[in-house]
Amino acid sequence: MFFLNRGHIRRITAALEEIEKGNLPQRINIYSKGALGRLAQVIDRVLSGLTTRINTLNKEAVKGKAILTSMVEGVIALDNDARILSLNPTGQKIFNIKKQNAEGRLFLEVIRNNDISEIIHRVLKNGEPVSSELSLVLPVQKTFKINASAIFEESIVAGCVLVIHDITQMRRLERVRSDFVANVSHELKTPLTSIKGFVETLLEGALEDKKNSREFLRIIQEHANRLESLINDLLDLASLEERGVSLRAREVNLKELADKILMSFEAQLKNKEVEASNELPENLIVKADKDKIEQVFTNLIDNAVKFNRQKGSIKIYAHELSDNKIKVLIKDSGWGIPPKDIPRIFERFYRVDKARSRALGGTGLGLSIVKHIIELHGGSIDVESSEGLGSEFSFILPK
């Protein structure tokens, strides 16, 4: 006789009602062999399949969210009315907006930028990706690369995703590099043009004129020397900038080293009647690369002499700092550096007065070489200056 188990029907109905509401109920667990039992077992299998699939989807969603959260690019997803669906933390940071104030609102209401809005509408209209570089003031001027692509649902454009990459630093470095190449070319060309000019003049007959030809040769020699110092400085800079450049650290007595360098400047000091005093303590020892620290003293003392006044002075002294560091100061009584130039003074080729520096045999690379060397030693460099009174360059080194 056909027999209906009301309890089983109730359990199956309750499970189906839960599914209808969008929930995933517990297994029904009816193991009888009859039609109801088989129906309950099929429902259980569907439930188990759904649970596995939902778990997988949840895991994917968590992974996707983690990727979006950690991305250095800003990501904004929009629907086909250009309403913001979501934006990641970098997106919030770039535009200085909060997720809760942005999601669900029209893009232009939240981010008042017509250029980006136009990109979004182009993508929503054509479905084609758009890539563009924009300068935005937020509040400082920055350069962004924006890639926008359509979100498709069954071949229909359902929205758009913006990926926004801050390329300010990259563009700045490109500019620094191209300025550097332009500067190097210019600096090399200037003495070369002079050398060629004077050689031509000599070949065209000036060679016979004993007095002038000597002067021309002297000028050619001066420019050749200039080329040599420039190339040497460029090679020094290149080797300091090499990745993994190594220092040959050993104990260096700073006072002895400074004395040695001052001796090598004896002629220039005498010529300018500049009084130089080395007040570094006798026993001041640091662990450093001696040749490189010698170059630091050479460049700083060279500047202190070059940019000094007649009958000026130079004083080299030191302070012990608390954290086992030493600060060495080189003070001169020269013409000083205008405040507006101080922030740029350590840049390659930056000179307060180009013509004056060149006339004194400078390349404009000395201070950037010094900065590199000191930073390679884990130290730092600084300058204080009063126009017309003098400058004081100082560097800190770990002992």
Q: 30 with 23: CB under 8 angstroms?
A: no
Residues between 338 and 397 with contacts to ligand ADP, criterion CB under 6 A: 345, 351-353, 357, 362-367, 391
Region 136-155 residues binding ligand ADP, contact defined as CB under 6 A:
none
The Cα–Cα gap between 135 and 114 comes to 12
CB of 274 to ligand ADP, least distance (A): 12
Tell me the C-alpha to C-alpha distance, in Å, between residue 29 and each of 14, 25, 33, 39, 51. Answer: 13, 11, 12, 11, 16
Rounded to a whole number of angstroms, the minimum distance from the CB of residue 397 to ligand ADP is 19
> Among residues 90, 89, 88, 96, which one has the least CA distance to residue 113?
96
Decide: 381 and 370 in contact? Cβ < 8 Å: yes
Query: Could you give the CA distance from residue 353 to residue 362 in angstroms, rounded to a whole number?
Result: 11
Residue nearest to ligand ADP (CB): 362
Contact 33/41 with Cβ under 8 angstroms? no
CB 386 within 8 Å of CB 341: no
Instruction: Find the farthest-apart pair of alpha carbons in the chain and give their distance in angstroms, rounded.
Output: 138
Return the SS3 of 70: helix
Of residues 351 and 377, the one with the C-beta less far from ligand ADP: 351
Give the rounded distance of the alpha carbon of 275 from its chain centre.
42
Q: Which of 91, 159, 334, 379 binds ligand ADP (CB under 6 A)?
A: 334
The CA angle 276-278-283, to the nearest 5 degrees, is: 170
Of 140 and 267, nearer to ligand ADP (C-beta) is: 267
Taking the complex as a whole, the smallest distance from the CB of residue 390 to ligand ADP amounts, in Å, to 7
Beta-carbon count within 10 A of 332 CB = 28
Nearer to ligand ADP, 73 or 187 (CB): 187
**Of residues 88 and 368, the one with the C-beta less far from ligand ADP:** 368
Is residue 354 classed as helix, strand or coil in its secondary structure? helix
Q: Which two tokens stand for residue 330?
A: 């080189």
Number of residues that bind ligand ADP (CB under 6 A): 21
Window contacting ligand ADP (CB under 6 A); options: 94-102, 217-225, 240-248, 330-338:
330-338
Distance in Å, CB of 330 to ligand ADP, minimum: 8
Cα 312 to Cα 298: distance, rounded to the nearest angstrom: 18
Smallest distance from ligand ADP to CB 327, Å: 17
Q: How far apart are CA 316 and CA 305, in angstroms?
A: 13
CB of 382 to ligand ADP, least distance (A): 13
CB of 306 to ligand ADP, least distance (A): 6
User: Nearest distance from residue 338's CB to ligand ADP, in Å?
Assistant: 9
What track of x and - describes contact with ligand ADP for positions 282 through 321 (by CB under 6 A)?
A: -----------------x---xx--x--------------
Out of 337, 373, 374, 397, the only residue in the binding site for ligand ADP (CB under 6 A) is 337
Q: Which of residues 192-211 bind ligand ADP (CB under 6 A)?
A: none
Closer residue to ligand ADP (CB): 198 or 307: 307
Point out which residues bind ligand ADP (CB under 6 A): 299, 303-304, 307, 332, 334-337, 345, 351-353, 357, 362-367, 391
